């Protein structure tokens, strides 16, 4: 089976995507698959990525559209992160080409990438989320934010991942620059009340009635689970199972399942939450969780007795049955 591992891309998470893609290519069982590393960045006029000892092809839409072409994959394993990869764009292209792909479809991907829209849906469904204010360019936000939310806050781009452009703000003087930084990465910034508590994540694996993986507690070495804490070796500690009450764990699994179902996700997802006073508060859902050596979903799967190669097998099988 020819598996195109889509990696790289043109978002701010390009390096994370390359790391994810490299891990996937290396772990795919050669007796079952012929993996091919593919970078769609040339579709946007950018050069394909270069990774040591891993040949990477540009995505050839013409070849992939021909059903008899030797270059056309049997399935695409999406290892792209950020814009163009998680937002429904590449999913739409693959739908048009008629190629099965891993993870969620166009609509679920687009919704999950838009943090503000996701929170609207969750709030309407009774799932706890942090209070927030949405800021667009040319808004005068400080007074409205201060009156509605108070401090401390977290400011983030609305459609970005890996905590790129995220800033913790503890006083009004620092807010304008934090918002400006977020708006450098997206046209909309999301300003949220900072919820103190235990940071956890809940992984799900499956299409209909997905399997809930063990909850992971995340302890960032520097106190904030930022880009370095996520991807630098030793940047964070993953504690399995999370050190929360049975009641909080039950609620966390329920909210993760409801979030996954509400957005129409499939294949896999990871729902990030803060637990405060036994009540999980949903921060966001990731439809393409990282697969790097420090990533959360593979750790959760391992705790459930699912090795990395088996995890990839299951994700591919879910793509083919979707």
SS3 state of residue 160: coil
Catalytic residue among 231, 236, 251, 253: 231
Catalytic site includes residue 181: no
Residue 34: strand pairing partners:
2
Locate the DSSP E strands across 42-197: 56-58, 75-78, 132-136, 153-157, 167-169, 188-193
How wide is the angle at C-alpha 77 spanned by C-alphas 76 and 81, nearest 5°? 120
Catalytic site includes residue 286: yes
Catalytic site includes residue 272: yes
Q: Do residues 114 and 159 make contact, with C-beta atoms less than 8 angstroms apart?
A: yes
Helix axes 308-321, 296-303, angle to 10 degrees: 100
Catalytic residue among 39, 87, 226, 284: 284
Catalytic residue among 114, 132, 226, 272: 272
Catalytic residue among 109, 162, 236, 295: 162
Query: Could you tell me the sign of the dihedral formed by the alpha carbons of 224, 227, 231, 232, in that order?
Result: negative
Catalytic site includes residue 21: no
Both structure tokens of 79: 């290892």
Catalytic site includes residue 270: yes
Catalytic residue among 8, 9, 13, 86: 13
Catalytic residue among 9, 12, 88, 290: 290
Whether the link from the prior residue into 152 is cis, omega within 30° of 0, is: yes
Residue with the two structure tokens 């059903």: 67
Catalytic site includes residue 162: yes
Catalytic residue among 225, 270, 295, 299: 270
Q: Which residues are catalytic?
A: 13, 162, 231, 270, 272, 284, 286, 290
């Amino acid at each position: 089976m020819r598996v195109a591992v889509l990696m790289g891309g043109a978002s701010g998470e390009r390096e994370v995507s390359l790391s994810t893609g490299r891990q996937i290519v290396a772990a795919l069982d050669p007796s079952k698959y012929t993996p091919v590393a593919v970078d769609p960045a040339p579709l946007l006029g950018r050069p394909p990525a270069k990774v040591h000892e891993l040949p990477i092809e540009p995505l050839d839409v013409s070849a992939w559209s021909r059903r008899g072409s030797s270059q056309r994959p049997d399935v695409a394993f999406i290892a792209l992160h950020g814009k163009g990869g998680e937002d429904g764009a590449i999913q739409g292209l693959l739908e048009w080409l008629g190629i099965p792909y891993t993870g969620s479809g166009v609509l679920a991907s687009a919704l999950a990438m838009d943090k503000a829209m996701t929170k609207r849906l969750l709030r309407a469904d009774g799932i706890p989320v942090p209070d927030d204010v949405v800021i667009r360019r040319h808004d005068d936000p400080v007074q409205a934010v201060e009156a509605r939310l108070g401090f401390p806050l977290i400011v983030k781009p609305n459609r970005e991942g890996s905590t790129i452009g995220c800033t913790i703000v503890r006083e009004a003087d620092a807010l304008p620059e934090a918002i400006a930084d977020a708006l450098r990465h997206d046209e909309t910034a999301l300003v949220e009340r900072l919820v103190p508590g235990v940071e956890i994540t809940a992984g799900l694996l499956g299409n209909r009635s997905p399997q809930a993986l063990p909850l992971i507690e995340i302890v960032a070495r520097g106190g904030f689970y930022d880009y370095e804490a996520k991807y630098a070796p030793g940047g964070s500690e993953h504690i399995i199972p999370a050190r929360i009450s049975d009641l909080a764990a039950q609620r966390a699994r329920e909210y993760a399942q409801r979030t996954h179902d509400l957005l129409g996700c499939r294949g896999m997802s990871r729902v990030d939450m803060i637990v405060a006073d036994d009540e999980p508060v949903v921060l966001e859902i990731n439809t393409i969780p990282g697969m790097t050596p420090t990533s959360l979903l593979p750790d959760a799967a391992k705790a459930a007795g699912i090795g990395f190669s088996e995890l990839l097998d299951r994700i591919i099988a879910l793509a083919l049955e979707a």
